A = this chain, B = another copy of it.
Amino acid sequence: MRERLAVAPERRSEAEGAPSMGLLSTSVGYALKRAYLRVYDDFLLALGDLELRPQLFSALSLIVDNPGIIQSALARVLAIERSNIVLLVDELDRRGFITRNPVPSDRRAYALRATEAGRLCRREAAIRIAAHEKRMLSRLSDAEQRGLIDLLARVGSLPVEAGPALRLSERAGP
């Protein structure tokens, strides 16, 4: 007798009813993936007409919040390679959302700064993202919502900043 599993024993016979998720139903990794994909889809829906994909928003948002940041630092914060920052920054620049400014103390680097258009776009996107996230978390109680982001930050090794979560949605009002 092998494969003695708690879920979905092999004698489920010939797959008539709804298929069982089997081992996958106990995997945090798989649950993470499914949640991520669902949220990602709804994000695109919410921001579709702004033409802001998630990383484009992330990059813009970080530049707004850290005026003068250089590309390498942006890559480190976003935990992606420098080479992948280039096209993101190119696009933000081309669309007039940011400027690349020479850094007197280091002629290799460019200081990134959001333009007025960039700040406005980020502001509009943040409002929609607040509504989007509220929608995604509608199945969770307030306490659960606050807990989730903290748990995720710890799993993802993200720095956890002080204060309540979901401030994003709390500034969605007028």
| A163–B8 alpha-carbon span in the complex (Å) | 13
Q: How many monomers of this protein are in the complex?
A: 2
Q: Is A29 an interface residue (CB 8 A)?
A: yes
Assign chain A's interface to a size class: 35 or more
Is B35 within 8 A of A155, CB to CB? yes
A-B contact pairs, 29 of them (CB 8 A): A2-B123, A8-B65, A8-B66, A10-B64, A12-B67, A14-B68, A14-B111, A15-B66, A15-B73, A19-B73, A20-B66, A21-B158, A26-B168, A27-B149, A28-B39, A28-B133, A28-B136, A28-B148, A28-B152, A28-B165, A29-B136, A30-B58, A31-B148, A31-B152, A32-B35, A34-B153, A35-B156, A38-B156, A144-B151
